[in-house]
Amino acid sequence: MQPAPEFTETDMIWMRRALELARQAEAAGEVPIGAVVVKDDTVIAEGWNRPISSNDPTAHAEIVALRAAGLALDNYRLVDTTLYVTLEPCIMCMGGIIHARVANLVYGAPADAQRSSAAGVLQMAEAQLLNHRLQCRSGLLADEAAALLRDFFRRRR
């Protein structure tokens, strides 16, 4: 069994910002997921879920943040960046994260077994068949992130 990942106060700051973005998504009627791209202790880009409002099935928080980061850095490679996201990314988002060459992924709540792709079922963060691997840490403010999602779906039912 691996030891629990250690998180810094800086990690906490960025994940709290991702949670704020998730609340913005919720206020807009979207599934509450937020993402922040950080490089050299500076926010490069942010995103929150927007597939419903943008009529874009790819407008997950991570993809929105990755697109904005690429524009901000004027580069499709996001080398030496860390992505903070409130929920473990789906397969599509992990593909984008890997292709962008993000160095570190920190997420809050784990996805359910059917959607787990970063470190869960598919373990894409370290898949040998892919040409990029990234450090992946999970569980940061997981209870708060999971509660946001749970409460959102409970109200919708």
Report d(CA 65, CA 48) in Å as an integer: 8
| Angle at alpha carbon of residue 99, lines to 97 and 105, rounded to 5° | 25
Torsion of CA 98, 50, 155, 139, to 10 degrees: 20
Using an 8 Å Cβ cutoff, are 109 and 147 in contact?
A: no
Using an 8 Å Cβ cutoff, are 34 and 18 in contact?
A: yes
To the question of whether residue 136 is assigned a binding role by annotation, the answer is: no
Residues marked active site are found at 62
Q: Which residues are annotated as a binding site?
A: 60, 90, 93
Q: Which residues are annotated as a binding site for Zn(2+)?
A: 60, 90, 93
